[in-house]
Amino acid sequence: MALSSQSIQRAGGLSLATDFSVKDIRQLQRRLRDIEPGLRTQFMRDIKKIAFEPNKAINNAIPSIPPLSGMSGESRVSWGVGKPAKSTTVRFRTASSSKSLNTTLLAIRVNSIATSIADMAGRSGRSVGRGYRGSGYTREFLKRRRDGSLYYVRRRTTAEAGRKFISSLNRETGNRASRFAWKSVENNLPALNRRVSEVVNKYERIANYRMVRG
């Protein structure tokens, strides 16, 4: 099979090796499983091992404390709420999208909503000031009264407030989007993609050799 790879940047993390055919990868997995079930499992493990160092770099790049004081609190988009700020997941994927028959194969997902916002806010500029689902307001979030009781509130969003938020993030982190995930690994992406291709080609050779020998 013809194999190549590239990298794409996504909200909430990054994906590697997006140029692998879903059909080819799934076929390779079936062939490996037919030869020996453990081969398919080892193939997936070897692919995911490649993400160890970039995942570590992303974790190190994400700050332990919120980059802006306004990101503290108890709402679902506050720093460290729901998922720890440094929480990430390495994923082996063979699912295609509605627009492509290729697979991301290997991805590192940033699990925290707050971290994802801080990482990617301002990248496209299309949603600045539009609010949740274009409503002009934020999603409802919890606040605590002085007596300790909790209540839900939402805030009106404006393009000016959005621009100020993005400007503050750029100033405090010293980076434009992506501020953490992409910035921490972009220089090593060509080498990482080569390693993914090498592993896929290695298991393709194993499958071909075993099939020929019967």
Give the tens place of pLDDT for each residue, 94-147.
876 555 677 778 888 899 989 998 998 887 655 555 666 667 777 777 778 888
Query: Is 18:7 a contact under the CB 8 Å cutoff?
Result: yes
H/E segment holding residue 14: strand 13-16
Give the tens place of pLDDT for each residue, 9-23.
555 666 765 568 888
pTM for this model (two decimals)? 0.74
Judged against a pLDDT cut of 50, whether residue 82 lies above it is answered with: yes
Looking at every residue in the chain, the average pLDDT score rounds to 82
What is the maximum alpha-carbon separation in the chain? 75
Check residue 46 and report its DSSP letter: H
H helices present in 154-188, as ranges: 159-173, 181-185
